[in-house]
Structure 1
């Protein structure tokens, strides 16, 4: 892979900030969650999006906060895969300033391909695995 996938672009609104004047952690989580949906959407493809019997389940998420984000900041999240397992992927998402490139936070998560009917993990199909491997970047 030559570069991570851009999975979120947005602005930090004043209502997203806490009494200390910077974005509250709950909004980092929601931005990373939106970015994650974009990433797994690219992995599942159109056929995966239409199959309502399969989904993705996050089983681990860890965020490292690097630089505070204040109201009015423009932020971009770029995502890539760091590991492809039998039924899971490990992904890394980097939130940075859209204009200055300053890294604000890094999220690393493990998400599992999931059978929504049987309520159990399922093996990644060949097409999904191929798309995940195309986004693989050593992290």
Structure 2
């Protein structure tokens, strides 16, 4: 599913005129929040329940540079479901639909006060299972 859209601003580029790594990761991070929201997580759970997410792994691959003014979008999918975690894939595309970058992320559902992993809520687990895709895709 499409989870984020953006444009590359001059301040987001490096000395070579390409979007800097930190902004790719920022786009992937925002995409993740849209994905977990679509799965049933609500941001107010951070204060109401003291529950949130902690990323424990990012594996980013770059395949095509983005330049100033370039539009892009991110598509996200669930590739694995653990007892306390989701493994997701976020793919960033340029306006022509060419893949620019991929981020494979493992995120743990987290007790923000106790600082420990929690089992995924059943609603999120069921919704994630409905969206589960082949990890090779």
Aligned to 2:122: 126
Runs of 4+ in 1 over 6 A off after TM superposition: none
Root mean square deviation, CA, Å: 1.1
TM-aligned CA deviation for residue 49 of structure 1 = 2.9
Equivalent-residue separation in structure 1 for 2:27 and 2:62 (angstroms): 13
Gaps of 5+ in 2: none
Gaps of 5+ in 1: none
Aligned to 1:72: 69
Q: Does 1:58 align with 2:52?
A: no
- TM-score normalized by the length of structure 2: 0.91
Within 5 A, what are the aligned runs for 1:1-139?
5-45=1-41, 48-51=42-45, 52=47, 53-97=50-94, 99-139=95-135
Task: Number of aligned residue pairs: give it.
Answer: 132
1:39-84: per-residue Cα shift (whole Å, max 9, x none)? 1222234xx4332210010000010000011111110000000000
TM-aligned CA deviation for residue 38 of structure 1 = 1.1
